[in-house]
Structure 1
Amino acid sequence: MPELPEVEALAGYLRQRAVGRRVDRLEIAAISALKTYEPAPTAAVGRAVVDASRHGKFLDVLFEGDLHLVVHLARAGWLHYREAFPATTPLRPGKGPIAVRVRLDDSSGFDLTEAGTQKKLAAYLVTDLATVPGVAKLGPDALAADLPTFAERLRGRRGQVKGVLTDQSVLSGVGNAYSDEILHFAKLSPFAITDRLTDAQMATLHAATRQVLGDAVERSLGQRAAELKGEKRSGLKVHARTGLPCPVCGDTVREVSFADSSLQYCPTCQTGGKPLADRRLSRLVR
């Protein structure tokens, strides 16, 4: 799933290539992806791209006249920029992975695609960002929140720190992968309880969040969209590295699996050497 660093980089990529170009056609190939019906996609035609930005994990492409194409890429979505589309034949709804296509007036543009069978990519064409439900509910940006705000938000939602960090209404931008990396950097168990964290632990967690996300943004900016996934994987120390040695201490990276997701951690770095029980709803080490 694209998280804060990747979406920030995608926005920067679009600012470099698409700003100033006018929309020739905005096509919806996956009807379920478009969550709004007014304005219609034809409202974007002829308008110039004036900016691209990010709200948490939402990508926001701004057209002149305050028209926004806001996209949540979900777990399997991505953006593919085309320097030139090979043909002007309209997309056929329901065919292939393409959900949305934006053709620009110089024959370039971008596709929003989604792999797999669970189609959760969501696109909104709006004139008011507050009408996008996910954006309206976002908490403070995880990379921008100062320590008092960070601590207040986490302690205000009692729960296991892994889950609270990824709750977009608490702090926005952190998903499954970077929460694993942040907790490893902070040397905290994923199942530590937020309102039991000491002031020192909270300060360490805040610093880890800024460090991990900041480093990932720095690595990602300037990368082509096609290279971002590989760049993300290359920077991970524990996430998706089950069974491999921890690059910090050499212990074996462990995993806890859930119904539709998993987390990775290092026992030596994070849980005092104790493995977490790998079964759902068990009494886990804290």
Structure 2
Amino acid sequence: MAELPDLEVFSRILSRRFAGKLLEKVEVKVSNKLNVTAARLKSSLETRKLKIVKRSGKTLQFHFEGERVLGLHLMLRGELVSLADNPPKYPILIFHFKGGEGFAVTDMQKQATPTLYPPPSLVNDALDLDLNTFKKLLDGKKTLIKSLLMDQKKVRGIGNSYGDEILYHAGISPFSISGKIPEEHIKQLHKSIQHVLKTAIKKIEKENGDELVGELRDFMLIHSFKLKQAPNGKEILSDKIGGRTTYYTQSQELFH
């Protein structure tokens, strides 16, 4: 699943490549996840220029002229594919811009979800979360910290992979009880969220250039079944939290 760093880079690439261009046609190949009819989606977006693509949590938001906004959640297997490549497999939406360029939203599971005029979210994006708000979010909570970080109703943008990377960087066990983490460690965790996500954005952006490459995970320090030892020399262990595989080391402090 694409997480915050991947989507941030995708939004920047799409903006560089397509902002200011006229959308001549959008093909709706799968409509069951739309919140409106295919006809309304087409009439709302076609013949309008794309102004910018922004990221909000785990969604991309395409802003067109006339205050027309299309939200997109790629879900678990959704991808963005340039039309300059081979014809897209498993297309959901195909965007054709004036001049012949374009891209497709693809998903073999057909779960990628486009939303015309997505409602604003009141939940903080992980990169906009200030320390005081973060402290209040953890205060008194009996939830495991890994689960809380991944809860999109609490913090938007962090998924399974980066949850592990953030907690390793902060030196906190994913099995820690959120409300039991001392204040100084909460401060470090907040710093780790910013550091890990922003560092990942820089690495992915450098690797991708202007190409819509899939999710990149090669630079991760702990979240990989291929890795056996963390950079600190400790053995990487794995377990399940909320049905998802979690990677951690015994060096990460447990608060409970």
Which residue pairs with 1:48 in the alignment?
A: 49
The residue type paired with residue 17 of structure 2 is: R
Task: Return closer, same or farther for 1:193/1:207 CA change in 2, 3 Å cut-off.
Answer: same
- Counting only pairs closer than 5 Å after superposition, residues 13-32 of structure 1 correspond to structure 2 as 13-32=13-32
Which residue pairs with 1:120 in the alignment?
A: 111
Displacement of 1:240: 2.0
The residue type paired with residue 70 of structure 2 is: L
Which residue pairs with 1:143 in the alignment?
A: 127
Unaligned stretches of 5+ residues in structure 1? 273-284
The residue type paired with residue 28 of structure 2 is: I
C-alpha contact (below 8 Å) 1:256/1:264 kept by paired residues: yes
Correspondent of 1:257 among 221, 240, 246: 240
How far does the alpha carbon of each residue in 1:232-283 deviate from its partner, in whole angstroms, 9 at most, with x for none? 312211112365111222x22111136752111122x2157xxxxxxxxxxx
Distance of 1:158 and 1:36 partners within structure 2: 39
CA RMSD of aligned residues (A): 2.3
C-alpha contact (below 8 Å) 1:39/1:125 kept by paired residues: no
Correspondent of 2:213 among 222, 227, 250: 227
Distance of 2:71 and 2:86 partners within structure 1: 22
C-alpha contact (below 8 Å) 2:53/2:61 kept by paired residues: yes
How far does the alpha carbon of each residue in 1:120-168 deviate from its partner, in whole angstroms, 9 at most, with x for none? 2110122xx32xxxx53x5111112221111112326541000100111
Q: How many residue pairs align between the two structures?
A: 253
Task: Return closer, same or farther for 1:156/1:141 CA change in 2, 3 Å cut-off.
Answer: farther
C-alpha contact (below 8 Å) 1:142/1:173 kept by paired residues: yes
Q: Does 1:161 align with 2:136?
A: no
Is the partner of 2:128 in helix, strand or coil? coil
Query: Identity, % of aligned pairs?
Result: 26
C-alpha contact (below 8 Å) 1:58/1:72 kept by paired residues: yes
The residue type paired with residue 123 of structure 1 is: P
TM-score, normalised to structure 2, is 0.90
Which residue pairs with 2:231 in the alignment?
A: 247
Displacement of 1:59: 0.2
Q: Does 1:204 align with 2:205?
A: no
C-alpha contact (below 8 Å) 2:147/2:242 kept by paired residues: no
Unaligned stretches of 5+ residues in structure 2? none
Q: Does 1:217 align with 2:218?
A: no
Distance of 2:149 and 2:13 partners within structure 1: 27
Which residue pairs with 2:252 in the alignment?
A: 270
Distance of 1:207 and 1:259 partners within structure 2: 25
- Counting only pairs closer than 5 Å after superposition, residues 61-140 of structure 1 correspond to structure 2 as 61-83=62-84, 96-115=89-108, 117=109, 119-126=110-117, 129-130=118-119, 135-136=120-121, 138-140=122-124
Displacement of 1:39: 3.5
